[in-house]
C-alpha cells in the first residue's frame, strides 16, 4: 500500500523563498528590483491568490529582494513569482533570472531564519536586518496576505533571531575600528554618561568615533584642532564644545578619553603632559585612541599606570580577531537555526496531518456505530453480552483497517526531519489519504 | 543533621563553582541565573548547618576552629552573593564559590563534636566581636577578588588582547570602585571587631590590651589596611591599589593562619 501511495504525489503544500541578494547580484539590479514601501502595498495583494500562492510576503532591503510564499504547487508558484517580479518592477525576466534562487520547504524556512538572525547579511551579526524582516511581516500582515503558516514562520524567525542574539555573541563584536574603540572604552569605564572625550583633529576616523560615542551616550565631547574654524564645524555636528589648540594641555585632565585623528608630523601627546594630567585627576584612568597616521600619541604612553593607549593597528587587530570570533559564533548560530527549522517543520507537517487523522477516525467511528445500530435494531432478542461482543468485534475491525493509514500518517510526521528529496519520493500527502478515504466528500 | 547539611552545602558549592565557570565561557542566559541560584542555596544550607549546631550547643557556634571556619566560609559566600547581586560582577561568584568549597572541605577536616562553652567565652560580646571581625574579613575577600580580576583585566587591556573572555569581565572602573568600597566597609567592620574585642577584654581580663602575638598581628593588619585606605583616598588607584590590596590580604591570611601556632589567652582556637 505504501509503495503505491508513495508514487502518487507531492506534499499537499510547501513553503518557498524566491529572490536574490547581495551575495550574487550586483547592486544596479537589486536597485531595480527593490520595492519601495508604498509600492509593496499595491503589489503584494497581486501576488497572493487562492490557488497558487495561498500566503505571501516580500522582504525588500538594499541587500535583498525575496518573496516568501506558502503554496500547494511549487513549480507553478515559482513561475508565478518570477513573472510577478518582472511585471511589477518592469524588468525583463531574462535580465535577472540567472541571479534568482529558489529555496523550498525546510531550506526555505532555514533561509528565512538565517536572514532574520543576520547570518546571511553582508556584515554577519548586524542588527538592522531583524527590523527589516519585522517590517516585511507587518506590511503583509496588515494587507492580509499571511495565513497561519507564514504568520507562525515569521514569528519563529523573530524568536530564532533572539535566541541567536542571546546565546551566541555573534552580534557582540565590533567590526569597525571606531566601534571597536568604543567597545574597549566600555571595558575600562563603567558607563559613559559621566565621561568626557576629547577629539584632536578633524579626520574622518575621529569623526566616526565621536558619532559612535554619542550613540553610546557619552557625557561631554570636546573638539580641538589647529584650524579653529574646522573644530567649530565638527563640534557643531556632534554637539561638542571647542577647545583652542594651544590650551589642549590645560583641558587634558578633564578628559577620560582622548581620540587623536590629526595629521601631524610629530607626537601631540607625550609622557610629561599626560602624567601631569593624571596627577591632577587623581590617577583616574585615561583611554587614548590614536587613529592618526603618522601616530599622534607617543607609544610609550601605554607604559604609564592607568593609561591605555590603542593605535590604529591595535584596533585593526581587535577588529580582525572579532571577525574570526564571529565565524566561530556563526557555527553555533547555524546549529540553533537547524534545531529551530526542525521544530518548525514538525509543526508544519503536523498541522497538515493531525486534521486528517482526526477525520479518518471520526468517519470510521460514524460508519461503525451507524451499521451496528442498524444490525442490532433487527436483533432485539440478543443478550447484553452478545450485543457487547458485536460492539467489540466492529470496533476491532475498524481499528485493524485504520491501523496502516494512521501509522503511515504518524510516521510521516515523525520522519519530517528527513531530507526533502527522500521525503517527496517516499511519502504521499495527507491530501491523498483524504481523497482515497473520501474524507472531503459530504455524506449522502 | 548538621553533617548532612554540611555535605549538601559542599555539593552546592561545587555545583555553584562549576556553573559560574561555565557561565564565564557561555553566553546562554540560563547559566547566568542557575549559578547565583546554586550559590544562594549553598549559603542557605550552610547557614542552616550553623543554626543547627548553635541550637544543639545552646550558644552562637563560632568558638572552635571548626565552627569559626564554617562561619567564615558562610559569610564569605553570602558576601560574594550580595555584591554580585547588586553589581554587574558575576565573576565574583566564580571566585567566592571555590573559596566556599575549599573552606567547607577544611571544615570537614577540623570537625569536632559539640562541647560545652568554656566559661571565659560566655559573654554577650562573643557574637558581636566575632561577627564584626569575620564580616570584615569576608568583605576583604571581596576586595581581594576585585583586585585580582582588576589585574587580569588591566593586563589584557595593556597587552591589547581583546578576547571574548575580557568582555565578560567587569569594567576596570567597576572593579576599582568595588575595591574602594569593600576596603572602606571591611576596614569599618574590622575596627568594630577590634574595639568590641578590647571592650570585652576589659570586662573579662580587666585589661583592654595584652601583649600577645594574636592581638599584635591583628592590630598590625588593621594598620596595613588603614594605610592602604589612606593612600587610596589620596589617589592611588587602579593597578597600584589592586596590588596593595592583594598584599594586605596576604598579610591578613598570614596573621590568620600564623596565630594558630602561638598559644595565648585570646579565646577560641581560631582567629
Domain boundaries, chain B: 1-115, 122-271
Question: What confidence score (pLDDT) does residue B183 get?
Answer: 94
Q: How far is CA B239 from CA A191, A300, A435, B154, B177, in A?
A: 20, 18, 79, 7, 12
In chain A, the percentage of residues whose pLDDT exceeds 70 is 91
* pLDDT mean across residues, chain A: 84
Does the distance separating the beta carbons of A167 and B167 come in below 8 Å? no
Is residue A348 over pLDDT 80? Answer: yes
Interchain CB distance below 8 Å, B239 and A190: no
Residue among A362, A383, A377, A359 nearest A440 (CA): A359
| B238 → closest Cβ in A168, A186, A283 | A283
Which of B29, B157, B240 is closest, CB to CB, to A305? Answer: B240
Q: Do B163 and A321 touch (CB under 8 A)?
A: yes
CB A374 within 8 A of CB A41: no
For residue A355, what pLDDT is reported? 77
From 1.20.120, 1.10.1060, 1.10.10, 3.30.1360, which CATH number describes the B122-271 domain?
1.20.120
For residues A199 and A289, give the distance between their C-alpha atoms in angstroms, rounded to a whole number: 9
Grid cell 445500530 in the structure block, residue: A373
Question: Which chain B positions have a beta carbon within 8 Å of A322's beta carbon?
Answer: 162
State how far residue A131 is from chain B, nearest Cα, in angstroms: 23
Mean pLDDT for B144-157 is 91
Determine the average pLDDT of the residues in A17-43.
Answer: 87
pLDDT at A160: 95
**DSSP 3-state helix, strand, coil percentages of chain B (rounded to 5)?**
80, 0, 20
pLDDT of B268 strictly over 80 = no
pLDDT at A1 (0 to 100): 33
Q: What average pLDDT does the segment A241-265 reach?
A: 90
Q: Which residue has the higher pLDDT, B144 or B237?
A: B144
Q: Assess whether pLDDT exceeds 90 at residue B142.
A: yes
Question: What is the tens place of the pLDDT at every residue in B208-251?
Answer: 777 777 788 888 899 999 999 998 888 788 888 999 999 999 98
Q: Which residues of A touch B171 (CB under 8 A)?
A: 186-190
Nearest to A349 by CA among A427, A283, A403, A277: A427
Please give, rounded to a whole number of angstroms, the shortest distance from the CA of B149 to a CA of chain A: 12
Domain ranges of chain A: 2-172+326-345, 177-305, 353-436
B237 touches A at CB < 8 Å: yes
Please give, rounded to a whole number of angstroms, the shortest distance from the CA of B256 to a CA of chain A. Answer: 32
For the cut 60, the answer to whether the pLDDT of residue A25 exceeds it is yes
CB contact under 8 A, B167 and A190: no
pLDDT for B267:
56
Q: What's residue A5's pLDDT?
A: 35
What is the per-residue pLDDT for A335?
Answer: 93
Q: A215-234: per-residue pLDDT in tens?
A: 888 889 999 998 888 888 88
Q: Which of B166, B235, B237 sits opposite A187 (nearest CB)?
A: B166
Q: How far apart are CA A325 and CA A259, in angstroms?
A: 26
Show the beta-strand stretches assigned E in chain B: none
**pLDDT of A419 above 90:** no
CATH topology of domain A177-305: Rossmann fold (3.40.50)
**CATH topology (fold) of A2-172+326-345:** Beta Polymerase; domain 2 (3.30.460)
pLDDT of residue A7: 30
- Residue B46 CA to its chain's centroid (Å): 14
Please classify residue A150 by burial: count the beta carbons closer than 10 Å to its beta carbon, then call 0-12 exposed, 13-18 middle and 19+ buried: buried
- Region A248-254: mean pLDDT is 91
pLDDT over threshold 70, residue A444 = no
Residue A170, pLDDT above cutoff 50: yes
Would you call A308 and B158 a contact, using CB atoms and an 8 Å cutoff?
yes
What confidence score (pLDDT) does residue A349 get?
82
What pLDDT, on a 0 to 100 scale, did the predictor assign at position A427?
A: 53
Q: How many CB atoms lie within 10 A of CB A235?
A: 21
Amino acid at each position: 500500500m505504501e509503495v503505491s501511495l508513495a508514487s502518487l504525489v507531492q506534499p499537499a503544500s510547501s513553503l518557498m523563498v524566491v529572490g536574490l541578494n547581495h551575495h550574487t547580484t550586483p547592486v544596479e539590479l537589486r536597485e531595480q528590483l527593490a520595492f519601495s514601501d508604498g509600492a509593496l502595498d499595491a503589489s503584494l495583494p497581486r501576488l497572493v491568490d487562492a490557488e497558487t500562492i495561498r500566503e505571501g510576503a516580500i522582504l525588500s532591503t538594499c541587500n535583498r529582494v525575496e518573496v516568501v510564499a506558502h503554496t500547494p504547487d511549487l513549480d507553478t508558484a515559482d513561475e508565478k513569482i518570477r513573472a510577478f517580479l518582472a511585471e511589477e518592477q518592469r524588468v525583463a525576466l531574462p535580465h535577472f533570472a540567472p541571479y534568482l534562487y529558489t529555496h523550498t520547504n525546510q531550506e526555505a524556512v532555514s533561509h528565512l531564519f538565517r536572514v532574520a538572525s543576520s547570518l546571511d547579511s553582508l556584515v554577519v551579526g548586524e542588527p538592522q536586518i531583524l527590523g527589516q524582516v519585522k517590517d516585511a511581516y507587518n506590511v503583509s500582515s496588515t494587507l492580509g496576505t499571511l495565513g497561519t503558516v507564514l504568520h507562525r514562520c515569521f514569528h519563529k524567525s523573530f524568536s530564532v533571531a533572539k535566541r541567536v542574539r542571546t546565546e551566541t555573541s555573534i552580534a557582540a563584536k565590533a567590526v569597525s575600528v571606531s566601534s571597536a574603540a568604543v567597545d574597549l572604552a566600555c571595558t575600562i569605564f563603567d558607563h559613559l554618561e559621566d565621561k568626557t572625550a576629547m577629539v584632536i583633529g578633524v579626520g574622518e576616523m575621529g569623526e566616526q568615533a565621536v558619532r559612535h560615542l554619542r550613540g553610546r551616550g557619552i557625557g561631554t565631547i570636546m573638539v580641538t584642532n589647529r584650524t579653529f574654524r574646522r573644530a567649530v564645524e565638527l563640534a557643531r555636528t556632534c554637539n561638542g564644545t571647542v577647545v583652542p589648540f594651544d590650551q589642549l594641555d590645560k583641558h587634558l585632565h578633564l578628559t577620560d578619553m582622548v581620540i587623536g585623528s590629526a595629521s601631524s608630523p610629530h607626537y601631540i601627546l607625550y609622557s610629561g603632559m599626560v602624567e601631569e594630567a593624571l596627577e591632577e585627576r587623581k590617577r583616574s584612568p585615561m583611554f587614548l585612541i590614536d587613529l592618526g597616521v603618522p601616530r599622534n600619541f607617543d607609544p610609550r604612553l601605554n607604559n604609564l599606570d592607568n593609561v591605555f593607549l590603542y593605535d590604529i593597528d591595535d584596533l585593526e587587530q581587535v577588529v580582525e580577531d572579532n571577525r574570526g570570533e564571529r565565524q566561530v559564533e556563526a557555527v553555533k548560530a547555524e546549529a540553533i537555526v537547524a534545531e529551530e527549522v526542525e521544530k518548525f517543520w514538525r509543526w508544519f507537517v503536523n498541522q497538515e496531518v493531525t486534521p486528517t487523522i482526526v477525520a479518518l477516525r471520526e468517519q470510521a467511528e460514524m460508519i461503525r456505530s451507524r451499521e451496528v445500530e442498524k444490525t442490532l435494531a433487527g436483533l432485539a432478542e440478543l443478550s447484553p453480552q452478545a450485543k457487547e461482543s458485536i460492539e467489540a468485534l466492529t470496533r476491532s475491525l475498524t481499528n485493524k483497517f485504520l491501523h496502516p493509514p494512521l501509522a503511515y500518517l504518524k510516521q510521516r510526521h515523525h520522519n519530517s526531519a528527513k531530507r526533502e528529496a527522500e521525503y517527496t519520493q517516499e511519502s504521499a500527502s495527507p491530501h491523498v489519504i483524504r481523497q482515497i478515504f473520501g474524507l472531503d466528500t459530504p455524506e449522502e | 543533621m548538621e553533617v548532612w547539611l554540611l555535605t549538601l552545602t559542599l555539593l552546592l558549592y561545587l555545583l555553584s563553582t562549576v556553573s559560574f565557570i561555565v557561565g564565564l565561557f557561555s553566553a546562554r542566559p540560563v547559566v547566568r541565573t542557575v549559578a547565583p541560584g546554586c550559590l544562594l542555596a549553598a549559603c542557605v544550607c550552610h547557614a542552616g548547618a550553623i543554626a543547627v549546631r548553635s541550637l544543639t550547643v545552646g550558644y552562637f557556634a563560632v568558638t572552635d576552629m571548626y565552627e569559626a571556619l564554617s562561619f567564615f566560609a558562610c559569610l564569605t559566600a553570602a558576601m560574594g552573593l550580595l555584591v554580585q547581586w547588586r553589581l554587574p560582577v558575576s565573576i565574583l561568584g566564580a571566585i567566592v564559590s571555590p573559596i566556599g568549597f575549599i573552606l567547607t572541605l577544611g571544615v570537614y577536616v577540623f570537625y569536632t563534636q559539640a562541647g560545652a562553652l568554656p566559661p571565659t567565652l560566655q559573654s554577650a560580646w562573643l557574637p558581636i566581636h566575632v561577627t564584626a571581625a569575620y564580616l570584615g574579613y569576608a568583605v576583604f575577600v571581596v576586595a581581594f577578588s576585585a583586585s585580582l580580576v582588576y589585574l587580569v583585566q588591566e593586563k589584557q587591556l595593556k597587552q591589547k588582547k581583546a578576547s571574548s573572555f575580557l568582555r565578560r569581565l567587569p569594567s576596570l572602573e567597576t572593579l576599582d570602585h568595588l575595591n574602594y568600597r569593600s576596603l572602606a566597609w571591611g576596614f569599618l567592620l574590622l575596627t568594630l571587631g577590634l574595639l568590641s574585642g578590647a571592650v570585652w577584654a576589659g570586662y573579662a581580663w580587666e585589661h583592654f590590651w595584652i601583649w600577645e602575638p594574636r592581638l599584635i598581628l591583628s592590630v598590625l593588619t588593621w594598620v596595613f589596611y588603614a594605610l592602604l585606605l589612606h593612600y587610596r583616598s589620596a589617589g592611588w588607584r587602579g593597578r597600584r591599589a589592586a596590588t596593595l590590596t592583594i598584599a594586605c590580604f596576604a598579610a591578613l591570611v598570614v596573621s590568620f593562619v600564623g596565630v594558630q601556632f602561638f598559644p595565648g589567652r585570646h579565646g577560641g582556637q581560631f582567629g
